[in-house]
Structure 1
Amino acid sequence: MHRSGPNYDVDPRLPQPPGTAVWVGADAFAELAATAGTLERPVVVVDCYPGVDEAAVLEALSAHFDDVISVPEAAARPIDEIDALIARNIGTDRVFGYVTKHQLADLYDVALLAGLRDRLTARTGAVVLVGWGAALAAEDADLIVLADLPRWEIQQRMRSGMPNWRRENRDEDILRKYKRGFFVDWRIADRHKTTLYDRLDYFLDTTTSVEDARLITGDAFRAALDGAVRRPFRVVPYFDPGVWGGHWMQERLGINGDVPNYAWAFDCVPEENSLALDVGGIRVEMPAANLVLHRPVELLGPGTFAQFGADFPIRFDFLDTMGGGNLSLQVHPLTGYIQDRFGMKYTQDESYYMLDVGEGGGVYLGIKPGVDPDAMFEDLERSNRGERSFPAEKYVNRFPATKHDHVLIPAGTVHCSTRNTMVLEISSTAFLFTFKMWDWDRVGLDGKPRPTHLEHARRNVQWERDTEWVTRNLINRVEVLEEGDGYRVEQTGLHELEFITTLRHWFSVPTSRHTASTVHVLNLVEGAAAVVESPDGAFSPFEVHYAETFIVPATVGPYVVRPADGVSRCATMTAFVRGTEDPHGVAGAGLRCTTRAQE
């Protein structure tokens, strides 16, 4: 993929201070060996996130050390025992499981770990422990390294045949591989690596490959995260094709690649996206989740952290059907249902903000009056058996849409966008909890039927959300909050049942905002470019371009957004968690929008 468009940046990076050390490829492992060589009989831990090529890490280290041990090979429980342990979390469904509460130590044999520790006690020279869980065998290691990579890269490797950790499932359905990662491996791995952050001597980026790994010191790793929460920043977006995908992102943003379309993109999902550092011109990539896990209060704010913990609750993504097809007809689970059935904290409330709409574009939203639930689901079952197409417009409302419309979709509302829409989806971050009801007689790009979940859907559809209800409650609920010379602030949603508030700022002059102690997520939905500045110079000016999403951490406080050219009419959409602003800060997070002259 390369960028041919003039503005949208597919590879945003956080610049690091001059002189920050970085080692690449073979030099990275030589640096580890050199540092270990200054210590007497050191124990070196290279703890690997599941998905890191542990065999390649072992090989690279073996060129410098005589005693290199794979801790998973030496001490992990047999895979059939692990499978039995997590059977409830995995279940039998192709897509859904239950979030595990297990710790990494549960996957290891206590006696075998003890044997490894005895071996370390008797060592006569340097010993290197490698693999996911290596730190369990040496809590007082002399040198600790975290080898890491983001979830999106893990998914790409799974598609190319990489198995789950210690399993022989290279050819298994990618949805089942992802399910094991999402409900088990990544949950355990994130809990584990949070115990390492403050102790790290080095951070090893293995996103590209082990042969091209990038190494920075633990101090540089922590300093990068500390710096990120003091300024606006972007995570690295990623893009993926789909059966309903369109071409707007290719044509308008210049997102090119050897794919037929781009159906969707994650423009701000820190648990999935990367954070890229610029270290003297060298790119160092890490999961953006490291920032969420290591500096949650500074990033999210005390109120949001109190409500969600170290979990980034706001998601911005793109759904592109321009020249493509309808999204699947779907519904999201109610909060009690997702907590009970899947072990998630909160559900996928969402909204569609229309960045662009083509001919005939719109949304399916809510149920028509008087619909018989049994009749509707009987027709859905027939359609999913391939007996006939589902008569969607017999049961579901279809509304036209125009650019800048905002459609609210609280959980339990039947919905989908139609072909010829470009949607900025502003939602809570519940990831994969979409109950597909019908997929317009399509199969996936892999040629397999896309899974539907009618039993789950039926238990969550809110039948009272009919034509009148959704028209009154969910479409373009715009309220002007503040207006002046060159600017206007509007509240556009979300619905009272959802925990996110969204504001739209129209401006052709510099406007002042304030996080009021809660994180802001913004997208420039109108205008070629805007600049985000600190009124007191706390961070360097930060330029954003049309359709780019960026994060303003809670600790930033006051910030100014202005058109990059000083005169053009721009608009941003801002999302934050309602009711989490600091009562001693600015009332109503993000509402303040005065011109610089008025200040």
Structure 2
Amino acid sequence: MISVPPTSRHRYAYRDALSKAAAQPFRMVPYFDPGVWGGDWMKTHFDLPDNGSNYAWSFDGVPEENSLLLDFGSCVVETPALNLVYMHPRELLGDRVHARFGKEFPIRFDMLDTMHGQNLSLQVHPLTEYIQSHFHMHYTQDESYYLLDAAGKDPCVYLGIKTGTKPEEMIDALQTAQNGGKPFPAEKFVNRIPVKKHDHVLIPAGTVHCSGADTMVLEISATPYIFTFKLWDWGRVDLDGKPRPIHLEHGAANIQWYRNTEWVHRNLVNAVAEVYTGENGTVVRTGLHELEFLDTFRFTTSSTLPVHRNGSVHMLNLVDGTRAVLRSKSDAFPPLELHYAETCIVPQAAGDYEISSPDGSEVKVILACVRN
């Protein structure tokens, strides 16, 4: 980071830079973390340095954790991305979204890499009323898994409760495993759903879930991400050699037992609906579930497709293809080039724009927004 002396000239330049960022697409500075279940997909695809372990997480769309680089010509300043949220929430989020969430950024993109790695912990997120009454948060972490890639013999996600499961039997088995007894037989109680590249699995709060080994997941979720109740961690220890915490009491209080095998397949796996098909490409709605406040759409084009605004900030990721370009329909901002698996934010103040393939090859872009 380059330090800039706190003169009034620099103060106004900094404010002006944030004001410009709030009116055009931008990327944040990504960072990558190892984890006990991590894989090697990101290390290969993003040309990351060897860290002696793996890379489990990528945070590339999380203003609470990522930073911005502001180029002033003679120097580059790194600043928390939250400063943009705090200083220009209406321009960034849109009036409708700001009225609901205030100075909070409600959408989160991150990546979970288990390619040649291990299963994530089996987990559940709190219901809205539970997170409000126990943790005083306004909304919960509804989420989804978009499969950037899947390999190996039988890649899967674990999702929802198997039909016929008796809640007390499953909780007893989890408690026994937590106390050092027989390992939890996950596939006896939890649906194991085969997945492939470009599948989209929806995970409203209260749904038992985790991604399995040999998957590369773009996780699209609401932002209160610190409330994950782990139910079972496959009997392993963390990178520090210590068992990871289990939150069985909180988790058991939030499991939605009616989300059984039939319900999961009917509501949560590839609930894709066509929005538009034309000579320039297609747009499909891929989720999220009606219980969740986010919506996601996938744009596929070898040419150019327009993107219309719905009063919400947009978050995008190029999920297939080498590069795509975002252009303003009114020249309101300079074009932004998005590369494979990169995330960007398009503020509401940026206005209407279009997604194009600069070389005529097919690209796929996933877009998330707050639904009307």
Please state which band the TM-score falls in when normalised by the shorter chain: over 0.9
Q: What letter corresponds to residue 504 of structure 1 in structure 2? A: R
Gap change, CA 1:274 and 1:485, over 3 Å in 2: same
Q: Does 1:466 align with 2:288?
A: no
Contact 1:338 1:347 in 2 (8 A): yes
Using structure 2 for the length normalisation, give the TM-score.
0.97
Q: Does 1:524 align with 2:318?
A: yes
| Superposition deviation, residue 256 in structure 1 | 2.1
Question: What does residue 349 of structure 1 align with?
Answer: 142
1:486 and 1:291 mapped to 2: Cα distance?
35
- How many matched pairs? 371
Q: What letter corresponds to residue 377 of structure 1 in structure 2? A: I
Give SS of 2:369's match: strand
Residue of 523, 532, 552 corresponding to 2:346: 552
Contact 1:241 1:259 in 2 (8 A): no
1:568-583 → structure 2 map (5 Å cutoff): 568-579=361-372
Residues 25-69 of structure 1: per-residue CA shift (max 9 Å, x gap): 6xx5xx56xx6xxxxxxxxxxxxxxxxxxxxxxxxxxxxxxxxxx
Contact 1:331 1:415 in 2 (8 A): yes
Q: Does 1:247 align with 2:52?
A: no
Contact 2:125 2:141 in 1 (8 A): yes
Q: What letter corresponds to residue 481 of structure 1 in structure 2? A: V
Cα-Cα RMSD: 1.4
1:189-588 → structure 2 map (5 Å cutoff): 201=8, 217-280=10-73, 282-359=75-152, 360-565=154-359, 567-579=360-372
Give SS of 1:256's match: coil
Give SS of 2:244's match: coil
Using structure 1 for the length normalisation, give the TM-score.
0.61
Contact 1:368 1:395 in 2 (8 A): yes
| Superposition deviation, residue 282 in structure 1 | 2.5
2:225 and 2:50 mapped to 1: Cα distance?
25
Give SS of 1:351's match: strand
Contact 2:2 2:76 in 1 (8 A): no
| Superposition deviation, residue 281 in structure 1 | 5.3
Q: What letter corresponds to residue 343 of structure 1 in structure 2? A: H
Give SS of 1:271's match: coil
1:438 and 1:241 mapped to 2: Cα distance?
20
Gap change, CA 1:558 and 1:24, over 3 Å in 2: closer
Identity %: 56
Gap change, CA 1:391 and 1:281, over 3 Å in 2: farther
Return the structure number with greater helix share: 1
2:197 and 2:74 mapped to 1: Cα distance?
39
Contact 1:510 1:560 in 2 (8 A): yes
| Superposition deviation, residue 279 in structure 1 | 2.1
1:276 and 1:330 mapped to 2: Cα distance?
35
Residues 342-370 of structure 1: per-residue CA shift (max 9 Å, x gap): 11111000000000001211100000112
Residues 224-243 of structure 1: per-residue CA shift (max 9 Å, x gap): 11000111001111110000
| Superposition deviation, residue 24 in structure 1 | 5.3
1:71-220 → structure 2 map (5 Å cutoff): 201=8, 217-220=10-13
2:353 and 2:215 mapped to 1: Cα distance?
32
Contact 1:245 1:264 in 2 (8 A): yes
1:258 and 1:458 mapped to 2: Cα distance?
37
2:272 and 2:163 mapped to 1: Cα distance?
25
| Superposition deviation, residue 536 in structure 1 | 2.1
Contact 2:37 2:118 in 1 (8 A): yes
1:564 and 1:425 mapped to 2: Cα distance?
27
Contact 1:516 1:557 in 2 (8 A): no
Give SS of 2:256's match: coil
Contact 1:383 1:389 in 2 (8 A): yes
Contact 1:299 1:554 in 2 (8 A): yes
Question: What does residue 8 of structure 1 align with?
Answer: none
2:318 and 2:218 mapped to 1: Cα distance?
11
Contact 2:150 2:216 in 1 (8 A): yes
Contact 1:486 1:507 in 2 (8 A): yes
Contact 1:379 1:390 in 2 (8 A): yes
Residues 251-302 of structure 1: per-residue CA shift (max 9 Å, x gap): 1121224241000111101011101112225321111000001100000000
Give SS of 1:506's match: strand
1:255 and 1:313 mapped to 2: Cα distance?
29
1:238 and 1:388 mapped to 2: Cα distance?
38
Which has the greater radius of gyration? 1
Contact 1:517 1:555 in 2 (8 A): no
- Which runs of at least 4 in structure 1 moved beyond 6 Å after TM superposition? none
2:297 and 2:329 mapped to 1: Cα distance?
21
2:128 and 2:341 mapped to 1: Cα distance?
30
Give SS of 2:86's match: helix
Q: Decide which moves more: 349-358 or 251-260.
A: 251-260
Q: What letter corresponds to residue 321 of structure 2 in structure 1? A: G
1:303 and 1:477 mapped to 2: Cα distance?
26
1:256 and 1:313 mapped to 2: Cα distance?
31
Q: What letter corresponds to residue 218 of structure 1 in structure 2? A: R
Contact 1:515 1:552 in 2 (8 A): no
Give SS of 1:255's match: coil
Contact 2:2 2:77 in 1 (8 A): no
2:151 and 2:280 mapped to 1: Cα distance?
29
1:259 and 1:411 mapped to 2: Cα distance?
35
Q: What letter corresponds to residue 175 of structure 2 in structure 1? A: E
Gapped regions of structure 1 (runs ≥ 5): 1-22, 36-200, 202-215, 580-599
Contact 2:328 2:351 in 1 (8 A): no
Q: What letter corresponds to residue 395 of structure 1 in structure 2? A: F
Return the structure number with greater strand share: 2
Give SS of 1:512's match: strand
